[in-house]
Chains A and B, each alone.
Chain A
Amino acid sequence: MSSILTRRALGAALILVVSFAVAAVLAPQAAKAQGVPDPLRIATEGAYPPFNNVNSKGELVGFDVDIAKTICKAMRVKCKLVAQDWDGILPGLVANKYDAVIASMSITAERQQIVDFAGPYYSNYLRLVAPKGTAISSMADLDGRILGAQRATVAAQWAEDNIRGGEVKLYDTQTAAYSDLESGRVHVLVSDVYPAHDWLQTVSGYEFVGPRIDIDDKIGIAIRKGETDLKNALDKAIEQIRNNGEYKKVNEKYFPFDIY
């Protein structure tokens, strides 16, 4: 009697294990067939106006956010946007907290070691920002000055690699760096050009100084390594919105010139 019961229990357990195993094998394939998870979970920073920012109602807004929504529409999937601190934005992607990062992220060799990029979806260069009248015409004029930049950005990387005669201070967010430029703790900011352009519209007394710093910077969509289907789908969606005018609509909402 007991042996029958044991056998039945074993049988039930076996069926359970097999069905779990089958489900585990089938489930990812069902998603993969379509190539793009639905909803697509997208992270952005939310502290980088006008690209990504949180408005007074607590909603994520900005160029990146609009582009993300447009891309999702083109791919016919739902978008689920989350805000994530810049420092942890790639570790979060690798840890599968979301599927893509659309947060004005530059495609760099360091980042490509841990993630893949779709795109680019716009291009960037660096500019120096300082109080009006600051005499800076060449790199040598930066000697002895305190430079600010946001940590973990191409601007910070450029500053750390190229500034020899001055001091570099790194901030957690771009807004914190602006705030210290205004208080006078840093003399010059090294910044991506478009957010600085946007900030300069809101303040007086500051201007771009020195030459444009071209670093061949392309902004892409970060995804986990090896997700080729998702990369292809995103690339196709970017091409599609470039061609059908949807990109242009978003672009014109923020900038009077094409930033692609």
Chain B
Amino acid sequence: MSNLADFWDNVREQASVSVCEAVTFATPELFDRGCERLIEGAIVTIGLLVVSCLAGFCIAVPLSLARAFGAPWLSRTAWAYTYLFRGTPLLIQLWLIYFGVGSLGKDLLGPVWWLLGDAERVGLLVLTLNTSAYVAEILRGGFVNVPADQREAAMASGMSPFLTLRRVLFPQALRIAWPAYGNEIILLLKGSALVSTITVLDLMGQLRTLFSRSYALDLFLYGAVLYLILVLIVTGLLRGIERLWIRAS
């Protein structure tokens, strides 16, 4: 585990140094002074986004199935979960878990402290839980929009419920949900800036720290451009995946 953390630190440092060397001929002097910190922050933001997207998706799939096909008690439980996380501000969720639950301290929390003692882990946890609620509702919309006779036909031809889900329902639901899902990823990317309030040095955290030393408002302009570049990469990836599908079908 500590190896992974060291590896991650190395990647961040080396990537930021080489990126900054590569762009310095074209960037303003004020940007160059903070460049390494900003790129390191952008890499943290990407890391938070990738991990919380993947983990959030894994939680969202069973939740969406419970919402779409589950027994009433299961569906209602899943609904309560999505209502809770979609109905409260991300900032409140972050602060309640980081400062609120975290204030119980190391001794009371025991093994949970591994998760709550570290700001980046709390950020990951909250972003994951938050996005899983949104993605669950998006996928549910996909599932209920697959015509019911497809499921009936698959079952009638002898497919098991799991095979029906994997071969028939899931691919179609995902395709219906894809544009809304892409939107959620972009919202999550920008929402992740809130983790800077619990001491995580993501792109926003680095921006605010640099700003507190120089008071140069231009920094936020550069920050906006970096976020735009990140969004461009995300939308490019999403479109690439969409194209692969079209070619495959």
Binding site for B on A (CB under 8 A): 87, 90-91, 110-111, 113-114, 151-152, 156-157, 169-172, 176, 179-180, 182-185
Contact = CB atoms under 8 A, between A and B. Distances in A.
Given A90-B215, A110-B213, A179-B99, A169 B208 contact: no
B182 interface: no
A179 B98 CA distance: 10
B217 A157 contact: no
B209 interface: yes
Contacts of B178: none
Nearest to B107: A184
B197 interface: yes
B199 A169 contact: yes
B226 to A, nearest CB: 19
Contacts of B199: 169-171, 180
Contacts of A171: 199
B102 A183 contact: yes
A151 B119 contact: no
9 contacts: A90-B215, A91-B217, A114-B215, A151-B209, A152-B212, A156-B212, A170-B199, A170-B205, A176-B99
Contacts of A152: 208, 211-213
Interface residues on B, range: 20 to 34
Nearest to A153: B212
Given A110-B214, A110-B215, A184 B119 contact: no
Contacts of B102: 180, 183, 185
A9 B209 CA distance: 56
B213 A184 contact: no
A171 B208 CA distance: 11
Interface in B126-153: none
Contacts of B208: 87, 151-152
B138 to A, nearest CB: 32
A111 B212 CA distance: 9
A110 B118 CA distance: 32
Contacts of A111: 215
Contact of B213 (A157, A176, A182): A157
B239 interface: no
A148 to B, nearest CB: 8
B103 interface: yes
Interface string B57-68: 000000000000
A91 B212 contact: no
B105 interface: yes
Contacts of B197: 172
A35 to B, nearest CB: 26
Contacts of A113: 215
B152 to A, nearest CB: 54
B106 A184 contact: yes
B117 interface: yes
Contacts of A87: 208, 211-212
A61 to B, nearest CB: 23
Which A-B residue pairs are the 9 nearest by beta carbons?
A152-B212, A169-B199, A184-B106, A183-B102, A183-B103, A114-B215, A183-B105, A151-B212, A179-B99
Contacts of B213: 110, 152, 157
